[in-house]
Structure 1
Amino acid sequence: MKKEFLVIVLVLCASFSFSQTTSEYVKISAQADKSAYRPGDTIKIAVIADISKPYHINSYKVSDPTLIPTSVKGLTEGIITEGVSYPADKKLKFEFTESEISVYEGKIVIGLLAKASQDIAEGPVYFKYSFDFQACDDKVCYSPKSLKDSIQIVITKTGSDIIISNSEVFNNLNFSESSQNFVKSEEIKGSKLTENERVSKPADSDSDIQDGIAGEGMFSALVIIFLGGLALNLTPCVYPLIPITLSFFGAQASGSKTQSILMGIFYALGMAVTYSTLGVIAALTGGILGTALQNPLVIIGIALIMAALGLSMFGLFEIRVPQSLAVMGNTNRSGYLGSLLMGLTVGFIAAPCIGPFVLSLLVYVGKVGDPFTGFLLFFVLAMGLGLPYIFLAAYSSSISKLPRSGEWMIGVKVIFGLILFGMALNILEPLIPKNVFAIVFPLYIILSGVYLLLIDRQGKNSAGYTTVKNIIAIAAVAAGTWILKPQSEASEVKWTMMNSIESINQSVKSEGKPVIIDFYADWCAQCKELDKYTYTDPEIVEMTKSFNNIKIDLTKENEAITSGFEIKGLPVVVFMGPDGKEYKELRVTGFLEPEEFKKRIESLEKNISAQ
């Protein structure tokens, strides 16, 4: 009788072991995969989020650090979270974004993988969890929210009457660590930005590459990376590999151009394998790589490596092609496998010179965290680096036509040494005050040009090299001078920052001008679009010069302002007369193109003049 009663209790627990919490944007509920668990058992929880129309929420993997990712975390002692399985996202383009962003819509299921501790007490346990998210619609983003709820599970010592439940839900969840949407517990960061916190976008050394891929699209980025791979063949420690490679092809091709071309292809594929593997590793260890590269000690270490490589270009020490590799060109490593292995080896040898470019790609791939993207970007880079060898393989007998590595090459090393020093300085940018870096970096470019023009005497017997060097030197001096010269201030609306209703009222009363109030937050993508496109329009800048322009930062929750101005989402732009009266019909909620914004200003001016 006692056993039957326990079975009934477990069945009832399985039937009622769910929770439900609702917000205006999302309704969450949870289900467990079993009616009960023993100490040490694996626990699977399905968190079901029903996203109301017309809203969407950011996915767990955001492309912009200022966006708020969706995050689920366990909060109960005795039940240890091991990881979270997130659903596949949707890539959608909105009118306020330059490129597609990763979002969730409709109903989604997030799997939470946990384990009951060995010393957990027997009986019912309420497993608490949090669901952090940021909701947006097509025009407005809302404040980040955190829903907290719990689900009742049962801990039993016997385990003889445990019942599998909710199979239809858990059959569609992938808790495998190899899944690209599974995040281990040590990698779970959650939302770093809530109503009571402010986060600004960190300065990243790879921002140019990241912005390029996000802004121009993947295809354009692949073209640029491919061309970059081609250009890397001109670096000092890659160029000497060309004659070695040609002698290798010449020894193996036996006069057959077709065989030489095929060997060149396998050679390039060997290089591609090296760098593609590097890209996949960077993607799979992205969390570790991204964290490490934000550490000041790591930044300094990388800068020192770049500086050391620069010193090697000036002859302090030399990076030589290993003798064993040089001998390869004359050994009997025949066949396509030999070409593949040769390409693999050259991929490693080329690393010291092409490191800075590869490092930037590694950082980007590590942040994206997608192995396929890592493979693709580095495969394209390697094919750009290896393409010349396919053509050179077909004409391996033409080695005598290549310029010899004579005095002019020593001069080229000096130029690359100066470039490496500049890269070291650029890597240190996040650690240098902005106003100091704005002077030091262009000054270094000018001094480098002066050094090449007036001091360096390498390659002076080569007329062609001397001409090219002087052109580079003059261009460096001109570029550094242009950068150092104070630029005319960017044309944009001038704002006065305020953070209270009292300061707003005081400003309106004392200024006696028409008022524009812009409400924004760091996590608001549409706010950034207004700043970038609308508030930089020359006509709008001119029109607002006679206005009292106020900007309110709502990254931190400010209940007095949001209630006082009835703000539910951002961005919001309010138009007032000199008397402080708002013209509600002119209120902007969401991104507005410059032409439409001008019409609001003109309407405000007409309303004021009509009084």
Structure 2
Amino acid sequence: MKRTLAALVLMLAVFAGTFAQMEQHITWKFSTKNIDNGKVEIICEATIDEGWHVYSSELPENTAVPTNIEVEENEAYSILDGIIEEPEATAHFDETFNAELKWFENKATFKKVVQIKQEGDVILKGYIESMICNDETCMPPEMVDFELTVNTSAPATEEVSASETAEEEEESYWGIFLLAFGGGLAALLTPCVFPMIPMTVSFFTKTSATKAAGIRNGIQYGISIIVIYLILGVAVSAIFGASALNELSTNVWFNLFFFLLLVVFAASFFGAFEIVMPSSWVNFATKGEEKGGFIGTFFMAFTLALVSFSCTGPIVGALLVKAATGGYMGPIIGMLGFSSALALPFAFFAAFPGYLNSLPKSGGWLNSVKVILGFLELAFAFKFLSIADMTMGWHILEREVFIAIWIAIFGAMGFYLLGKLRLPHDSPMEYIPVSRFLMGLLVISFTIYMVPGLWGAPVNLISGFPPPKNYAESPFGVGDQTPVQGIIASGDNHGGMPEGMHYGPQGIPAFKDYDLALAYSKEVNKPLLLDFTGLGCTNCRKMEDKVWSNETIKGMLANDYILVSLYVDDRKKLDEPYVSEITGKKIRTVGQKWAEFQFERYQQQGQPYYVIIDENETTLNTPVAYDPDIKRYQNWLQDGLDKYKSR
């Protein structure tokens, strides 16, 4: 009886521990919303435990697992596009992936739109895939199924509360506004706009009967500038719509178009040609100035916008590209920021004309500002080409090529600032101003800093712009992290690489398949090191970069162990999906299979997680998780090896 009671208590303890381990730290709520013309929005709301975060749907390639909504195909509806709507995520620089990763904390809402093709009730089936992490570990990617019934003839469902995402959206809009405001300040320093400030303000002060009238006219002029550019922002949003604007950051053809557009803008700033508005438009605006009053002032501002387009157009175009990723309100907020900066000096100097004398005189430096902006636009253009290249897998603009192009662009900018290069509209210089000389040295220093990136250096200052390290001609770097000369080099009775083995982290020979690794372990009489890891696991990369890079540990893993890396976020589809006997969920991918294997065998879900076993699948010592202490990890490996030999 006592033994039975003890066994029962033990079973209950294991059962309770199992359910504790199965906690996902995130819960999902699913709903739908009728939009218009048969379109339905699938809404997935996440509630996340304190200290955990879920990733955005938009992440750099080969980093963490992005959140994704998959809808099963059905004749009753069609999926409009692959775009997932989400609030603006908080960006965090991840040293492991050398990239900025976006994620959400506490709450997040993801949406996807489908087009319903028939009347009556329609059942939408699918799942949302996500991965959550905290500062110490990551859970395996989880796929949560949903089944929703919709009827497009029914009234639209209640709006999802915007209070959850208001703070994130506000931060995004402030970012767009400040970026656009900076663009407006840059536009002020171009030869098309800067000389207009004293001319316009002098006109107002001379034609106004009183000082108050001059101030009023100047303010009206500034407001008119803001209204004109706001109309442009509203037009862009109205024509394209929010869903199309969201495609700007992911669609291949949009990115190729913007690459060509920014190259054309850069060439214009370099002086190859001028982008001007039709003369009929300018004449129409000039005639409107004769009407006087607010209408006349408005047409004066409209004339400024048209005449200065050769300088402001490329800046406005680049800002609209960036601002459009902020959804429907992005272009509107962007144009508000740009026009506010542009209008500010006109209103200020109209109110205080005495300060006009403090402005620097026009000259060749204004064209230099245009040329520098041209260099920057040309550099940013290649970011758009890089996105298209990685998406399509062309491998035209790999990491080394991208960095080489940036070295050339910023090197040329540095020489230009130092007076070694002259472009068509530059004025001759007898000497280089000190400020320009210092700026030139700064740009040349930045250029030299990027050079080691050609040989695999991280170049963290430009992180997020070039492709990741694995998207390169030499993923291991030149003369760095070469594959370990371990069991593969020596042949180990095979004279080459065994079936299923490849060069893994730090060039260490590794398997990705457990069964193949186990069979090879029996053949060569070596213990297995199970490495439960993930492509998007930050701490896994830290262990590989900081611990496995140690020569002693690297040698032990290559020569004394059979390493098998089981990626719990491997999204390769299984030939035959199955339903888990443990969780009851459908197992669709290789990653889900290894995540379930880890939980079933070791009641653990976090990564990294390391287990040493022998050829009979017996655990030799206590498994360990993330631990950056090199000596402790080495002792753990040695302990496992000693126990294997002393069996």
TM-score band by shorter chain is 0.5 to 0.7
How far did residue 462 of structure 1 move?
4.6
Is the 2:184–2:341 contact (alpha carbons within 8 Å) kept by the matching residues of 1? Answer: yes
Structure 1's 599 and 234: CA in aligned 2 closer, same or farther, altered over 3 A? farther
**Distance apart, 1:520 and its partner CA:** 0.9
Query: How many Å separate the matches in 1 of 2:42 and 2:269?
Result: 57
Query: 2:610 matched to 1:575?
Result: yes
Supply the RMSD in Å over aligned alpha carbons. Answer: 6.0
3-state DSSP of counterpart to 1:232:
helix
Aligned to 1:114: 116
Change (3 A) 1:301 1:126: closer
Mapping of residues 408-487 of structure 1, within 5 Å: 408-410=365-367, 413-424=370-381, 427-430=384-387, 431=389, 432-434=396-398, 435-450=400-415, 453-456=419-422, 462-463=429-430, 470-485=437-452, 486=454
- Shift in Å, 1:382: 3.0
SS at match of 1:376: helix
Q: Deviation at 1:500?
A: 0.8
The match for 1:145 is 143
Superposed, 1:225-304 pairs within 5 Å as 225-251=180-206, 253-254=208-209, 255-256=211-212, 258-260=215-217, 262-263=219-220, 265-270=222-227, 273-274=230-231, 276-277=233-234, 280-281=237-238, 284-287=241-244, 290=247, 294-296=251-253, 299-304=255-260
Deviation at 1:372, TM superposition (A): 3.7
8 Å Cα contact 1:72/1:131 also seen in 2: yes
Structure 1 distance, partners of 2:529, 2:182, is: 50
Q: Distance in 1 between matches of 2:47 and 2:437?
A: 64
TM-score w.r.t. length of structure 1: 0.61
Counterpart amino acid of 2:449?
Answer: W
Give the TM-score taking structure 2 as reference length: 0.58
Q: 1:92 & 1:460 partners in 2: Cα distance? A: 45
Aligned to 1:565: 598
Corresponding residue for residue 192 of structure 1: none
Aligned length: 510
Is 1:173 the counterpart of 2:171 in the alignment? no
Partner SS state of residue 116, structure 2: strand
**Matched letter for residue 500 of structure 1:** D
Superposition pairs of residues 124-139 of structure 1, within 5 angstroms: 127-134=122-129
Matched, 1:69 2:81: no
Matched residue, 1:494? 506
CA distance in 2: counterparts of 1:29 and 1:300, whole angstroms: 36
| Matches of 2:382 and 2:86, distance apart in 1 | 40
Distance 1:146 1:442 in 2: 46
Deviation per CA, 1:330-376: give whole Å up to 9, x if none.
9445444544554455456555545565455444544443x345433
- Identify unmatched segments of 5+ residues in structure 1: 1-23, 34-40, 118-124, 154-163, 182-212
Structure 2: distance between partners of 1:416 and 1:88: 32
Aligned residues of 1:453 and 1:473 also touching (Cα < 8 A): no
Unaligned runs of at least 5 residues, structure 2 = 1-23, 95-99, 390-395, 459-479, 482-504, 558-562, 573-588
Q: Distance in 2 between matches of 1:75 and 1:56?
A: 39
Change (3 A) 1:269 1:505: same
Distance 1:394 1:116, change over 3 A: same
- State the distance in 2 between where 1:470 and 1:30 align: 60
**Aligned with 1:454: secondary structure?**
coil
| Residue aligning to 2:533 | 519
Relative to structure 1, the CA distance from residue 582 to residue 267 in structure 2 (aligned partners, 3 Å threshold; closer, same or farther) is: farther
- Please show how residues 373-412 of structure 1 align to structure 2 within 5 Å: 373-396=330-353, 402-410=359-367
Structure 2 CA distance, aligned partners of 1:138 and 1:565? 17
- Between the two proteins, what is the percent identity of the paired residues? 15
Q: 1:403 to 1:92 in 2, by over 3 A?
A: closer
The 8 Å contact of residues 310 and 420 in structure 1, kept in 2 or not, is answered as yes
Give the match for residue 555 of structure 1.
Answer: 571
Q: Distance in 2 between matches of 1:409 and 1:89?
A: 39
Alignment of 1:208-227 (within 5 A): 222-227=177-182
Distance of 1:331 and 1:224 partners within structure 2:
32
Q: Does 1:317 align with 2:273?
A: yes
| Shift, 1:242, TM fit | 2.8
Write the distance in 1 (CA, Å) between the matches of 2:243 and 2:639: 55
Contact 1:27 1:51 in 2 (8 A): yes
CA contact under 8 A between 1:518 and 1:552: conserved in structure 2?
yes
Instruction: Sort the Cα spacing of 1:388 and 1:284 in 2 relative to 1 into closer, same or farther, 3 A.
Output: same
**Structure 2 letter corresponding to 1:604:** W
**Relative to structure 1, is the Cα distance of residues 90 and 429 closer, same or farther in structure 2, using a 3 angstrom cutoff?**
closer
